[in-house]
Amino acid sequence: MKYLYIILCLLVGLSSCGDSFLEKLPQGNYVEETFYVSDEALMAATAVLYNKPWFEYNADPTLGISQLCNDCFAPWGDPQYNTFQVTGLDNKLAAMWKSFYSVITMANSVISACSEKASADCTEEGIKRAIAESRLMRATAYFYALRLWGPVILFEDNKEIVANPMRNRNKEEDVFQFIINDLTYAATYLPETWAKGRATCWAAKAQLAKAYLARSGWNGGSRNLEDLEKCRELCHDICTKSGLNLLPNYEDLFKYKFNNNEESLFAMQWVPLGDWGTQNALYSMLSFSDISGGVGAWGSPFPAIEMLELYEPTDTIRRNATFMTQNTYYPYLCIADGGYTYTKTSTNIKKGAIGGPDDDNDGYVAPMSSPLNTYIIRLADVYLTYAEACLGNNETLEAGPGLEYFNKVRERAKIAKKNSITFDDIMKERRIEFCMEYCNWYDMVNWYKWKPAKILNLLSNQQRGTRVDKTTKDEDSILHFEGYIYPTTEVEVTANKIFLPYPENDVIQNPLLKEEPIAYDFKE
SS in 3 state form for 136-184? HHHHHHHHHHHHHHCCECCCCCHHHHHHCCCCCCECHHHHHHHHHHHHH
Rounded to an integer, the average pLDDT of 281-306 is 93
- Cα–Cα distances in Å, from 240 out to 236, 237, 296, 384? 6, 5, 45, 15
Look at residue 24 and tell me whether its pLDDT is greater than 90.
Answer: no
CA angle 343, 329, 298 (to 5 degrees): 60
Rounded to an integer, the average pLDDT of 175-181 is 98
Long-range pairs for 18-26: beta carbons < 8 A, 24 or more residues apart: 18/269, 18/271, 18/272, 18/274, 20/196, 20/197, 20/259, 20/260, 20/269, 21/47, 21/195, 21/196, 21/197, 21/198, 21/260, 21/269, 22/47, 22/50, 22/197, 22/269, 22/271, 23/47, 23/195
Tell me the pairing of strands 348-349 and 323-324: antiparallel
Cβ–Cβ < 8 Å for 71, 436: yes
Look at residue 339 and tell me whether its pLDDT is greater than 60.
Answer: yes
Q: Which domains does the chain have, with CATH numbers?
A: 2-207+499-514 (1.25.40.390)
Residue 330 pairs in a beta bridge with 340
Look at residue 410 and tell me whether its pLDDT is greater than 70.
Answer: yes
- Nearest residue to 451 via CA among 227, 212, 218, 143: 218
Rounded to an integer, the average pLDDT of 380-398 is 98
3-state secondary structure of 3: helix
Q: 195-204, 219-228, 473-482, 503-512: which has the minimum mean pLDDT?
A: 473-482
Long-range pairs for 174-177: beta carbons < 8 A, 24 or more residues apart: 174/519, 174/520, 174/522, 175/142, 175/145, 175/146, 175/151, 175/520, 176/146, 176/211, 176/214, 176/215, 176/218, 177/520, 177/522
pLDDT of residue 8: 35
3-state secondary structure of 329: strand
With cut-offs at 50, 70 and 90, classify the pLDDT of residue 475.
confident
Rounded to an integer, the average pLDDT of 120-148 is 97
pLDDT of residue 77: 80
- Nearest residue to 127 via CA among 45, 210, 224: 45
With cut-offs at 50, 70 and 90, classify the pLDDT of residue 276.
very high
3-state secondary structure of 9: helix
CA distance 504 to 502: 6
SS3 content of the chain, % helix, strand, coil (to 5): 45, 10, 45
Spatial neighbors of 399 by CB under 8 A, at least 6 apart, are none
Look at residue 28 and tell me whether its pLDDT is greater than 60.
Answer: no
Residue 470 pairs in a beta bridge with 482
With cut-offs at 50, 70 and 90, classify the pLDDT of residue 263.
very high
Q: What is the pLDDT of residues 305-335, one digit of tens each?
A: 999 999 999 999 999 999 999 999 999 999 9
Rounded to an integer, the average pLDDT of 462-479 is 87
3-state secondary structure of 478: coil
Cβ neighbours of 73 (radius 10 Å): 29
Q: 5-9, 150-154, 179-183: which has the minimum mean pLDDT?
A: 5-9
Q: What is the pLDDT of residues 59-114, one digit of tens each?
A: 989 999 999 999 999 988 889 999 999 999 999 999 999 999 999 999 999 999 99
- Nearest residue to 400 via CA among 388, 414, 416: 388
Percent of the chain at pLDDT > 70 equals 93
Cβ–Cβ < 8 Å for 163, 157: no
With cut-offs at 50, 70 and 90, classify the pLDDT of residue 16.
very low
pLDDT of residue 128: 96
Look at residue 10 and tell me whether its pLDDT is greater than 50.
Answer: no
Rounded to an integer, the average pLDDT of 433-444 is 98
With cut-offs at 50, 70 and 90, classify the pLDDT of residue 20.
low
pLDDT of residue 488: 62
Look at residue 17 and tell me whether its pLDDT is greater than 50.
Answer: no
Look at residue 252 and tell me whether its pLDDT is greater than 70.
Answer: yes
User: What predicted TM-score, i.e. pTM, was given to this entire model?
Assistant: 0.94
Look at residue 375 and tell me whether its pLDDT is greater than 90.
Answer: yes
3-state secondary structure of 418: coil
Look at residue 15 and tell me whether its pLDDT is greater than 60.
Answer: no
pLDDT of residue 523: 81
Cβ–Cβ < 8 Å for 204, 187: yes
Percent of the chain at pLDDT > 90 equals 83
With cut-offs at 50, 70 and 90, classify the pLDDT of residue 463.
confident
pLDDT of residue 382: 98
CA distance 369 to 292: 12
Strand runs (DSSP E) across 197-347, as ranges? Answer: 264-268, 302-303, 323-324, 328-330, 340-342
DSSP type of residue 261: -
Look at residue 300 and tell me whether its pLDDT is greater than 90.
Answer: no
Look at residue 5 and tell me whether its pLDDT is greater than 60.
Answer: no
Q: What is the pLDDT of residues 214-237, one digit of tens each?
A: 999 999 999 999 999 999 999 999
**What is the length of the chain?**
524
| Residue 521 CA, distance from chain mean position | 29
Give the residue, 228 or 34, on which the prediction is more confident.
Answer: 228
- Nearest residue to 134 via CA among 111, 158, 159: 111
Mean pLDDT, the chain, as a whole number? 91
Burial of 15-54, coded b for 16+ CB within 10 Å and e otherwise, reads ebbbebbbbebeeeeeeeeebbbbbebbbbbbbbbbbbbb
pLDDT of residue 489: 60
Element (DSSP H or E) covering residue 484: strand 479-485
